[in-house]
A and B are shown apart, each in its own frame.
Chain A
Amino acid sequence: MRLKLVPSDTSIDFLRHRRIAFVFSLLLVLSSIGLFLSKGLNLGIDFRGGILIEARNSTGPADISGLRRNLESLGLGDISLQGFGAETDILVRVQRQEGDEAAQIAAIHAITASLGEAYDVRRTEFVGPTVGAELAEKGLLAVACALLAIMVYIWFRFEWQFSIAAILALAHDIFSTVGLFALTSFEFNLATVAAILTIAGYSINDTVVVFDRVRENLRRYKSYEITDIINKSLNETLSRTVMTSVTTLLALGAIAVFGGAVLRDFALAMIWGVVIGTYSSIFVAVGFLSRFDIRHQEPDDGVEVPETERS
């Protein structure tokens, strides 16, 4: 007996709901942009500069409120103190200090001294303002270049309408992921940028699989309506789409639960990305594609109808 989350012969009319999906996606993207502009991102020290110290109490559970009083008395400005993973572990984040780099180093000294002997410092990260700005710039550049390369590749392999639809879907995924980070105030750091790029890779992967099938079916069923071809393609690839999403989610779930506190946020962002990427491949990318008159654009390039059709 095989486990089948999707029955073999589905014929779901995905495009019938494209108007609802379109409105939903539009609202999602607009509210993401709105949240980003109004609430902003909780930028980590990677981009904003600042200090992060992870420490473990060797004598028992961490006394967070006591530590907070001590740390706040240091007068280092905005300090965030939280438990991290185990109950003995804490994470201290301090905003960028006034003054030059030496002032930052002095602040690290002050914090480790304030934690006292019982606390074993496990991780110290300090990013100066110059480096923070550079990392932000590099992160943006990486995302922009990756998007551009993907767009060019899709354009090269498919028609321009596919390329535009794919990029719209990708932008949808990236905006809504950024929106999620603005909404939840999860820390947005270098790992988040890596997660976003991986989400982009996963989402485009998913989109390409559907596009490949649409292109194939366009050639095979020349007399069909475009919406029928698209619906047929979506149904034919649905089983694979679900299968791959589930295996990827299983792997990510393992990282989120067992991979330790450092990787948890990364895995959670990716899990969201897999869900939104799968949704956007079906409803955004293919939804837009269905609005283009792709049949006229599909040149008769002498591609043979696959032999299966002749049998």
Chain B
Amino acid sequence: MLQFQLWKKLLVAVVLLGGVVYALPNLVNGQAASILPGEKINLGLDLRGGSHLLLRVDIDAVRQERLDTIADTIRQEFRGAKIRFSGLDLRDNSVVVKLRDASDADAAQSIINGLGQGVSLTRDNDIYRIAFNDAGMMEMQTQTVQQSIEIIRRRLDPKGTKEPVIQRQGLDRVLVQLPGVDDPEAVKRLLGRTAKLTFQLVDSRMTAAEAIDRGRTPPGTALLRSASDYGRSYVVEKRVMVSGEMLDSASAGIDQNNRPAVNFALNTVGARKFGKVTGDNIGRPFAIVLDGKVVSAPVIQSQIFGSGQITGDFTVAETNELALILRAGALPAPLIVMEERSIGPGLGADSVAAGEIAAVIGLVLVAAYMVASYGLFGALADVALVANIVLIIAALSALQATLTLPGIAGIVLTMGMAVDANVLIFERIREELARGRSVLAAIDGGYQRALSTIVDSNLTTLFAALFLYIFGSGPIKGFAVTLAIGIVTSLFTAVMVTRLLIILWVERKRASKIIL
């Protein structure tokens, strides 16, 4: 009855061997590691240092922009079709317009239908209200978030070497996980502006002071503030000469006064346009506008074609960042930081060291206590415990699950709880021996009768781990993963490995008596 079938022995051998092979890459480095099949454990950001950012893409800003465009289109098309209207305005996330003449209804309707599938029209007599419908909003969200992800990737990882995780979450959120960041503020600066770059002519009909006095600017112009802190403003034509999409390259450099500046080059389309406008407007100032603020407003000295320079009140670091952002392109919408967790590399390394010490000391204490309580059997359980840790490390490596600081706590905790299965079995064997059964019968009975208890008690803990995984975030998920893996591997090692060891020992010694 105390048989351990060959296939079970083989299974134990194969699993343990596999465990060692997959755990090994975590111990060896360099050449030796490359011949092994597995990979190292994937350390979480809290252990290797890095930034975790949850960003919200401000879809409302995009919607507002698109509605502006729709309003412009309607104004032009209605005028072109001689439709008389009034009160064209944006209200409650929709474009509202009032028709003067009911006979224009059909013409207006067909123009509005031409706006596309994404918008819907509601009519209240002669008042037309155009808004994005659910499908339109959904498409806008998907498109905006996807574009944002692309731009974020280009800004954070221009060389493609940093392995950032950038993924969409929910409707309008983007999760960014960037390992190995020394300066999380720099990351936020890189993502903190949309970087919409435009060149617009400065209007000379009215000075900024006059515009502020009168509270209005000439038609087709807008009052923009200076980006530097001098509080200057400029009256700028709304018409855009050249925009950021026409940039071919941008790099940090210095101007003729040896101050940091950003050099840029335009693509062919941009160069042609810029050349024409500058040629027509020699002697007039134009504004370099970044995210709605005037960076500088140089006077056009001569016709400018392909390349130029953005000067302003910059530091070298700022010109580097600005050049990078301009190369990556503008974000379609502003990003709002909803959650940030940044860990410096020093703290991560300290955490790993502390976790390792805690694990080793925990292991030694538990192992010593088991030997003190159960003697040889305790030592066998300790062998299984070590095998358990090897298997947990192997499973984490093979699954490429992320090990976090709470995850290390999970492993240490598992060590304490893993011996529970063996304790249950050994206590049962003790009872069987006390009932006067033979050694073999006691061992066999102990295993059989403890098994259902072991399964019941471990499954309930597995439930807790499961829900932690489903609802937990970041480091807590890591804890749930190690806890769950630990439960499964400890079931295996406690039930299969110690059993095999005990049987091998009994067979070898032909023991007729055991002390437990």
- Enumerate chain A interface residues (CB-CB to B < 8 A): 2-4, 8, 54, 56, 100-102, 104-105, 108-109, 112, 120-128, 130-131, 135, 138-139, 141-143, 145-146, 149-150, 153-154, 157, 190-191, 193-194, 197-198, 200-202, 204-206, 208-209, 212-213, 236-237, 239-240, 243-244, 246-255, 257-260, 262-263, 266-267, 270, 306, 308, 311
Contact = CB atoms under 8 A, between A and B. Distances in A.
Contact of A251 (B375, B416, B467): B416
B435 interface: yes
B358 A308 contact: no
B416 A125 contact: no
B468 A197 contact: yes
Given A149-B463, A149-B467, A248-B416, 19 more contacts: A4-B373, A100-B336, A102-B336, A105-B192, A123-B343, A125-B342, A126-B337, A142-B472, A145-B467, A197-B467, A202-B461, A205-B460, A208-B453, A251-B413, A262-B405, A263-B354, A263-B408, A306-B449, A308-B432
B340 A250 contact: no
A142 B467 contact: yes
A50 to B, nearest CB: 11
B416 A201 contact: no
B126 interface: no
Contacts of B468: 142, 146, 194, 197
B464 interface: yes
Nearest to A206: B457
B476 A198 contact: no
Given A194-B479, A198-B483, A308-B435, A2 B416 contact: no
Contact of B340 (A2, A125, A198, A255): A125
Main secondary structure of the interface of B (DSSP, over half): helix
B409 A3 contact: no
B362 A255 contact: yes
Instruction: Please tell me the size bucket of the interface on B.
Output: 35 or more
Nearest to A267: B409
Nearest to B487: A201
Contacts of B465: 201
Contacts, number: 242
Given A101-B336, A248-B413, A250-B416, A122 B405 contact: no
A112 B185 contact: yes
Nearest to B454: A209
A141 B344 contact: no
Contact of A193 (B415, B423, B470, B476): B476
B355 interface: yes
A109 B186 CA distance: 11
* Residue in A101, A108, A204, A248 whose Cβ sees the most chain B Cβ within 10 Å: A248
A107 B468 CA distance: 32
B230 interface: no
Given A246-B369, A249-B416, A250-B366, A263 B406 contact: yes
A247 B420 CA distance: 8
B62 interface: no
Contacts of B346: 56, 120, 122
A220 to B, nearest CB: 12
Contact of A240 (B54, B427, B464, B467): B427
Nearest to B415: A251
Interface string B428-469: 001110110100000001000100110011111101111110
Contacts of B413: 198, 248, 251-252, 255, 270
29 contacts: A2-B516, A54-B347, A101-B336, A120-B346, A121-B344, A123-B343, A126-B339, A128-B339, A131-B338, A142-B470, A143-B467, A198-B461, A198-B483, A202-B461, A240-B420, A244-B423, A247-B417, A248-B420, A250-B362, A251-B365, A254-B358, A259-B354, A259-B355, A259-B357, A259-B408, A259-B412, A262-B351, A263-B408, A311-B437
Contacts of B406: 191, 194, 263, 266
A208 B454 CA distance: 9
A248 B342 CA distance: 32
Contacts of B466: 146, 149
A108 B342 CA distance: 12
A201 B461 contact: yes
Q: 4 closest A-B pairs (Cβ-Cβ)?
A: A251-B416, A260-B354, A254-B362, A142-B471
A131 B409 contact: no
Given A193-B476, A194-B468, A209 B453 contact: yes
A47 to B, nearest CB: 12
B355 A260 contact: yes
B357 to A, nearest CB: 5
Contacts of B416: 244, 247-252
Contact of A244 (B337, B350, B409, B417): B417
